[in-house]
Amino acid sequence: MQVKVINNRPVKIWTDYVEDLAMEQIANLASLPFVFHHLAIMPDVHAGMGMPIGGVLPTVGAVIPNAVGVDIGCGMCAVKSSWRVEDIDKQQLRDKIMPAIKAAVPVGFEHHATAQDEKFMPQGYDIDSLKIVSAEYESARCQVGTLGGGNHFIELQRDEEGWLWVMIHSGSRNLGKKVCVHYDEIAAALNGLWHSQVRPELHLAFLPMGTQEFDDYWREMNYCVDFALCNRALMMERIKSILSESLAGIEFEPMINIAHNYAALENHYGHNVIVHRKGATMVREGVTGIIPGSQGTASYIVEGLGNPDSFCSCSHGAGRAMSRNKAKENLNLNDEIKRLDDQGIIHGITAVDDLDEAAGAYKDIETVINNELDLVKIKTRLLPVAVIKG
């Protein structure tokens, strides 16, 4: 970890290299008048909208919708099974299990053709009091239990002892985007009326605590966090059901779940603050976390060390090494296919358009993990067996 002072604000960074645009965004964050104590930048950092991915931003009395992002509640879940990968017939996996998962879980822009049962949706909310959620509720019922696109994935994996795991990366689908965009627009309009020193071009408009707008966003954000969990949980249940049909007697341990795009009220350094985690995972001491790699590389189940320097946070994954367009321009399709084929991984990379999610587009996960061993300790290392990308 290195410490820099940027705009008179300490910034603690868990990597030796930060791309120029991400560093510019860090400087913008450091200039905000309501930042608390210091900024924490995780080893998977790369540029985002307004705030870099892999950033941890503590604030006093203000929430920034773009510091949470459009995929509110996006996160990981993982389940360990009682079957060994070596006991699974590879042809059965390729020709039966993976096609069945693809049929059960819509990916990309696809949704379910019919609304899913309301029991799969978040419970305990007054939906009518949530402006965006209530307007999008019926559409969201068709989205729950769907993967989405981009870097979202379903992966079957083996741990170091050979046990089969299922891991999912997904979020709040279009619902989270609608909530973020709506409240970012409100924040930008209000910041303009107040002649806020937070310049519009930074895309860091904020809502002050104690206002109706803050309360409205906070309730809808938390709904989206819960919706993202419901989304992952429903996919996981359907994948477990498919595995149970093919692998007689398979059992599953309880699901591990973590989010990495959200804001939360927490106490740090003796003060109650709002911690924005955008592409960062909360790892208080003893808490289990998930740090995925890219397809073709390892993922990790970790245990938090509760390091106060990072506001009890760690990376959310490997982090992009190049943009999607640069990946398509610079990576070699045959090389990326060979990388996966040589490991015997069932994958879907077949064309140049798939290269934006190739392993070569991401940072080295082993370097990322080694840079944060003061934040987490490794519990389990997982290697990919079969991958479905959004």
Query: Residue 376 has which token pair?
Result: 């987490």
Cβ proximity of 235 and 154 under 8 Å: yes
What residues contact residue 162 under an 8 Å CB cut-off, 6+ apart?
84, 85, 86
Query: Residue 187 has which token pair?
Result: 């924040």
Q: Which residue has the tokens 């709904």?
A: 223
- Cα-atom radius of gyration of the chain, to the nearest Å? 21
The one-letter code for the residue type at 216 is: D
Catalytic residue flag (residue 316) = yes
**Residue 234 exposure: Cα atoms within 13 Å on the Cβ side:** 27
The one-letter code for the residue type at 232 is: R
Query: Where in the sequence numbering do the catalytic residues fall?
Result: 316
